[in-house]
Structure 1
Amino acid sequence: MDIPIIFQDDHLLVVNKPVDLPVHKNDFMPHDAPYLTKLIGDETGQWIYNVHRLDSKTSGLIILAKSSEVAHDLTLQFERKEVVKEYATIVLGEVAEEGVFDEKVVVKKKSKFKKSALTRFQRIRTVQTAISYKEHTNVCLSLVRVLPETGRWHQIRQHFAKNRHDIVGDSHHGDFTLNKLIKAEWGFNRLMLHASKLGFTHPITCEKLEFEATLPEEFEQLLEAVAIK
């Protein structure tokens, strides 16, 4: 599996994680299933430590550390909200030009316990489609820039779903009928959520680093495919 390495030195890496690849091993995976830290470890020939979470279904930028000390420092930066995080997503409906979701979200799968979470967003553009189903007629899809200020489980996915702007391809919180229609008609079958920007301080050099990953081709392809010509 080709995993683009955006940055690498003796202490850490920044990679552009492919969609549908777990960051680390979990109990629900087959014993021989691939995961990011193992693949990068095999490629670099050393033990790799994950620093922060990125859902397997979400593509995009993620930091990996080459030592537990560097991983600890980077984790603290995330906890102190010192890391710049930006995502891109495609959602149902025409969202506001900009806004904030400030609502509690559940902290893990099948849990009822909730914690506060804050997600800022800006609409990039909206396309009208010929997709109609249930009570929806010629639905709009919006490309949105997302800036989460907290890092809860599925935070972005939960916030947009709670506000009736389901993320396209979200099989857990989203609009299952919409996802099925898009897959059947145009063949798109992925979560349209991408970690597009990361900024942080290098734990060793203290240099301010910022990285950006271009949108996956599927984002533009989907918007072009569904738009009313």
Structure 2
Amino acid sequence: MNESGLLSSEDIEQIEAIGARLEVLYEDEHYVAVYKPAGLLVHRSWIAKEASLFALQMLRDQLGQYVYPVHRLDRPTCGVLLMAKSSEAARKLAEQFASHKVGKNYLAVVRGYVEGEHLLDYPLKEKLDKMTDRQAREDKPAQSAITAYQGLQTAELPYPSGKFPTSRYSLVAMQPKTGRKHQLRRHMHHLSHHIIGDTTYGDGRHNRLFRDLGYSGLWLFSNRLSFVHPYKLQSIEIDCPLPDRWKRLYQLMTWN
């Protein structure tokens, strides 16, 4: 997504490249997980009336059966998206999401150097939607929000993004322990390690640098999802291969 909230050319290329099919990462008789590219909505939304492709409808057409969402990924976030093949299966897994029993791992590119392992416990005020949350209380206290994060790799680019002649970045793994709206993006903003490409909570100078270098979009990737299968009672771990746009960024950063 660009600063105006519209799809970037790279977002459009990703969506057009998949045509009418989504890459299936896991499937059994109850659940199916796919890779959702950045820029693709999970379902129809009033805030993106111009959109014509939606992961939910695409997967229904692809499988030839109705599917039910059990969680969501923001439009600019790419990665593992899990859906159920029945309303009962959706309900059973949604309960695990609601009780924070589903393991979620994200990769993000952030400004500055992040090293070591950390646990951030920083409550967040509920983010209200202008249309759907008009009746909600605006004076509710901040809610508990906990994120574990680890610095994986660092890079220094020979380009200025402010008063310094170079710019420093980190590849960070994050595991949200709670499920607040935009939790990872808001927590990284709180730490001043803004996620690159975040047009709401990010740093505009670094976002512009990445766009100028040809790496637009939000650099947040849901690369792993794990849960206990409600029917098989087995631990299921779904890993998503590194997307091509991320591979190109790794080359720029000289990351492994």
Same fold (TM over 0.5): yes
Q: Deviations over 1:129-156 (max 9, x none)?
A: 1221333441211001111101111110
Alpha-carbon deviation of 1:221? Answer: 2.2
Any idea what SS the aligned residue of 1:106 has? coil
Q: Distance in 2 between matches of 1:103 and 1:112?
A: 18
Contact preservation (8 Å) 2:100, 2:179: no
Q: Secondary structure at the match of 1:28?
A: helix
Cα distance, 1:15 vs structure 2: 0.9
Distance in 1 (CA, whole Å) between partners of 2:107 and 2:164 is 24
| C-alpha contact (below 8 Å) 1:127/1:223 kept by paired residues | no
Residue 101 of structure 1 deviates from its aligned partner by: 1.6
Per the alignment, residue 150 of structure 1 pairs with 178
2:235 maps to which of 201, 208, 222? 208
Identity in percent: 32
Residues 202 and 183 of structure 1: is their aligned pair in 2 closer, same or farther, counting only changes over 3 Å? Answer: same
Alignment-mate amino acid for residue 141 of structure 1: Y
Q: 1:124: which partner in 2?
A: 152
Deviations 1:78-122, CA, capped at 9 Å, x for gaps: 122211111111100001311122112233256775322100011
Q: Is the counterpart of residue 218 in structure 1 residue 245 in structure 2? A: yes
The answer as to 2:84 corresponding to 1:65 is: yes
Give the distance between the partners of 1:32 and 1:183, measured in 2 at CA. 23
Asked if residue 188 in structure 1 is aligned to residue 215 in structure 2, the reply is yes
Instruction: Quote the residue 2:104 is aligned against.
Output: 85
Aligned match of 1:74: 93
2:47 to 24, 28, 39: 28
What is the RMSD computed on CA atoms of the aligned residues?
1.9
Match of 2:72 in 1: 53
Query: Which stretch of the first structure deviates more once superposed, 126-135 or 107-116?
Result: 107-116
Secondary structure at 2:155 match in 1 = strand
Shift of 1:214: 2.2
Higher strand share: 1
Q: Distance in 1 between matches of 2:156 and 2:225?
A: 31
Distance 2:160 2:177 in 1: 34
SS in 2 for 1:16: strand
Q: Please list every run of 5 or more consecutive structure 2 residues that lacks an aligned counterpart in the other structure.
A: 1-18, 130-137
Matching residue's letter, 2:191: N
The correspondence for 1:197, drawn from 202, 218, 224, is 224
| Aligned-partner Cα distance in 1 for 2:27–2:193 | 37
Once residues 48 and 210 of structure 2 are traced to their aligned partners in structure 1, the CA distance between those partners, rounded to angstroms, is 27
Q: How many residues align?
A: 226
Change (3 A) 1:225 1:5: same
| Cα distance in 1 for residues equivalent to 2:241 and 2:91 | 28
Please show how residues 99-118 of structure 1 align to structure 2 within 5 Å.
Answer: 99-108=118-127, 114-118=142-146
Q: Give the Cα separation in 2 of the matches to 1:31 and 1:226.
A: 34
Amino acid aligned to 2:46: D
